[in-house]
Amino acid sequence: MKCPYNFFNRLKQYFRESLRQGTELLWAKKWEDTKRGIKWIEDMPGISPCGAAVGYNYLYIMTRILYYVNRKS
């Protein structure tokens, strides 16, 4: 009987990729909710990190920092 080791590795890889994609979707939603209502970022032409060097988690953190710095100025 052949060992299903390869099947379990592929299944594990599938779940890891699904988890990574789910995490990215949560960051995307969080960033979309954060930038809503911030006039200067809504006026910028389409910002989309798809395939870029940064992800939604970076955009979220930078948006929050710039929002607080801009608010205090």
Q: pLDDT per residue over 2-43, tens digit each?
A: 656 788 888 889 999 999 999 989 988 988 888 888 887 777
Residue closest to 25 by CA, chosen among 67, 56, 3, 46: 56
Q: What is the pLDDT at residue 43?
A: 78
Q: What pTM, to 2 d.p., does this model score?
A: 0.68
Residue 2: phi, psi to the nearest 5?
-80, 135
Report CA Rg, the chain.
Answer: 19
Q: Mean pLDDT over residues 54-58, rounded? A: 83
Higher pLDDT, 28 or 71: 28
Query: CA 55, 56, 59, 61 torsion: positive or negative?
Result: negative
Q: What is the pLDDT at residue 52?
A: 65
